[in-house]
Amino acid sequence: MDVIERIKSQLETHQVILYMKGSPDFPMCAGSDQVVRILRTCGETFTAVDILEDEELCEALKSYSNFPTYPQLYIKGQLIGGSEIIFDLFNKGELFILFAGIDR
């Protein structure tokens, strides 16, 4: 399976997926740490993918999403944004609205 097909498969399989540097328990950048903390505060279950372990995925996802930085949060296959956008949505209470549409 090529890398774009892997990305599509991951996005179809997981309702909430965070492409990040490191893991939720050991984030490797401040932005990834911030988004993990926000997701945990919201009580959301999410899948995390460490882009540092897969350089091909890291580069392909930037092109696929047309978003040059990490972390990248997707909800129901749609890119929501990186740490600054997620922080802003959280502070405005809008992130909870996005999570309300998730099939549980």
Task: Please report the pLDDT score of residue 72 as a whole number.
Answer: 98
Task: Please report the pLDDT score of residue 1 as a whole number.
Answer: 73
Is the separation of the CB atoms in 50 and 20 below 8 Å? yes
In angstroms, rounded to a whole number, what is the distance separating the alpha carbons of residues 4 and 38?
28
Mean pLDDT of 57-74: 95
How much is the mean pLDDT over the chain? 94
Per-residue pLDDT tens for 38-62? 999 999 999 999 999 999 999 999 9
Give the global pTM: 0.95
Hey, what domains does the chain have and what are their CATH numbers?
3-100 (3.40.30.10)
